[in-house]
Amino acid sequence: RRRIFAEIRKLKRGFLDINNKVKDRLRQWTFEAGTKVLDEMPAASRGTSELILSLAEYTRKHSQYELSQELYREAVSCRREQLGDEHPDTLAAISGLGYLLEYQGKNAEAEPFLVEALEGRRRALGNEKPDTLQSMNDLGNLYLGDQKFEKAEALYKEALAGRSAIYDSNSYDVLQSNNNLGRLYTKMGRY
């Protein structure tokens, strides 16, 4: 143990470097194992599995946008076919694809997906459910980026009101909504 610790301390950042290497390897192993399981699934259940969305999100977070988009598009297609356009799981895949496209700055491509996710969630879940409120937030972010300030403000205010009704005022979601309104007003010069 003493010799191992002595060697670790020779590294530039010591234990931090070792911990990061272990975490990176565990992430890689988890992704590889998940991909293997997904590849072994029957086609009928692959696109409706939670695993496909988890891998799509993982690849987005690791800047593998093409693979992430393939996974999201497969999930959207399969879920539309098997579950219908307004099933909450279909809407989750549609929302994820829209968010990915917006994240890449492809707002014109993202907008129809984010609008569909929000409108579908409003009909299927109602206006005060967390997923619907998140869709308001996501579409508001897209409008903010496109400088469609009035549309962004309406969605941000609606999301804030809905979140304030179901969450504590110090919850992450309420704070996120307040922050988004603050960002909007700063861009508009409404200090």
Q: What is the pLDDT of residue 44?
A: 83
- Residue 60: φ, ψ to 5°: -65, -45
Residue 31, token pair as written in the block: 């992704």
Alpha-carbon gap, residue 159 to 140, rounded angstroms: 9
Q: What is the pLDDT of residue 171?
A: 95
pTM (two decimals): 0.86
Helix, coil or strand: residue 48: coil
User: 130-143: per-residue pLDDT in tens?
Assistant: 999 999 999 999 99
Contact between 156 and 137 (Cβ < 8 Å): yes
